[in-house]
Chain A
């Protein structure tokens, strides 16, 4: 099976004035995400989830190791041709309308003409924003911004969608919409890689999981096989994270 994401001994450290001179955000993280899976990337705040995503997207360089998207080194901009990304806080241009945003983002992928206009209209319909398509984004609610953010992440019909906390700040209906969209992507054989604190959401949609704590992968595997029988994902998550963080904190 094709590999959508591959991290090989990835380490990232940030300069710091603290003793030691650097803060290790990721330490020798290795992961393989097979194409066509919905992969949950979990961890407490500060575990390194967003840092790993930012390396994958080429926002920050790795201090050591390597990262690949469909076999292409993430340092090459062409690696991002087949992906879509929704950031944790989709702060979108207030002066553009929803439709303009989708058209402009589509053009950044080299799309254009009638095909792009049709794709934008289809997505606006799909996310339930057709009625607000020609309104400025500055007038959108938080939930509408999240949905238009997701639409811009899907404009190029990506093979891999990276979602950073996609349900954060959404009401139950908004979460249901996101779940529905992820389900639709899975049904079409797309790969979804997403981070979340909402363990119940993750449990419902993910095939595979990785749990990050202190910049390291502390658990990884099929979502339905990680927890022991009778244990919920939340209980498993707390057990694994506590075990690893307390080990790190002990002298």
Chain B
């Protein structure tokens, strides 16, 4: 486990010394400040609008960060040829993969916490507030969804280049979030092979929409039952384990190109 933590720490240092995170933070801050200056719906409506837009931006930015960070970890080690100096240590490929996931997920969660903090400050500046337990549940489920997303991007990157893995992860994530929840609606009008295809799609992709409690936080509808949250924790852990297992199967015997580009 210690070796996984060392790898995770390297992921943190990499992100903290790049500009990506700071650009996203500044962009989010700028957009939220722009929202602060608007007052077109009256005060009460405005607070809800700021919460809604702020959480949407936090989701969007955290997804971008999660996919870009996770999809570059392994291909970057290969193109820099640092993979050799890592694997020459008593480190298994499974430990390397898990450490990379842990680092990517934890650093994206930390960045997302900063996004939430910014949103809370802006909402407070508008005289509003979030219901604490609902916001905590929203954040927790958001983090679990990011765990699935980072595992998906990392698993894809074991066999694809960085850009291909990122593109596939974006397509997969958007399909899981936007299309998969609509499958039951389409299913009602389909039979035979197409219906079976839709069913396979429905069960083969993770349901990222389940991790989205934004509307409850925006409209103060109150927290969801603890049993439901526990079920979603389990659901996300199963998906993370499954995706990391698939990634490990793709990575455990992979031969690295010796003449990788610098």
Chain A residues within 8 Å of B, Cβ to Cβ: 14, 50, 57-61, 77-81, 83-85, 87, 89-93, 95-96, 100, 104-105, 107-110, 149, 152-153, 162
A and B contact pairs by CB, cutoff 8 A, 9 listed = A57-B84, A77-B90, A80-B90, A92-B85, A95-B18, A104-B10, A107-B2, A108-B3, A152-B85
| B14→A108 contact, CB < 8 A | no
Instruction: Return A158 CB to nearest CB of chain B, in Å.
Output: 10
- Residue of B2, B81, B91 touching A91 (CB-CB under 8 A): B81
| B13→A95 contact, CB < 8 A | yes
Number of A-B contacts (CB under 8 A): 76
Chain B residues within 8 Å of A, Cβ to Cβ: 2-3, 6, 9-10, 13-14, 17-18, 80-82, 84-92, 253, 255-256, 258, 262
| B6→A85 contact, CB < 8 A | no
| A91→B90 contact, CB < 8 A | no
Given contact pairs A108-B90, A110-B3, A153-B88, a sample of 6 additional A-B residue pairs in the complex whose CB atoms are under 8 Å apart: A59-B255, A59-B256, A93-B10, A96-B13, A105-B89, A108-B6
Residues from chain B with Cβ under 8 Å of A96 in the complex: 10, 13
- The answer for the CA separation of A104 and B92 in the assembled complex, in Å, is 16
- The answer for the CA separation of A79 and B13 in the assembled complex, in Å, is 29
| B91→A77 contact, CB < 8 A | yes
User: Chain B CB within 10 Å — which of A50, A57, A81 has the most?
Assistant: A57
| B87→A57 contact, CB < 8 A | yes
Residues from chain B with Cβ under 8 Å of A100 in the complex: 13
| A59→B84 contact, CB < 8 A | yes
Known: A91-B81, A93-B80, A107-B2. A60 touches B87 (CB 8 A): no
| A61→B90 contact, CB < 8 A | no
Instruction: Return B233 CB to nearest CB of chain A, in Å.
Output: 30
Residues from chain A with Cβ under 8 Å of B13 in the complex: 95-96, 100
| B80→A108 contact, CB < 8 A | no
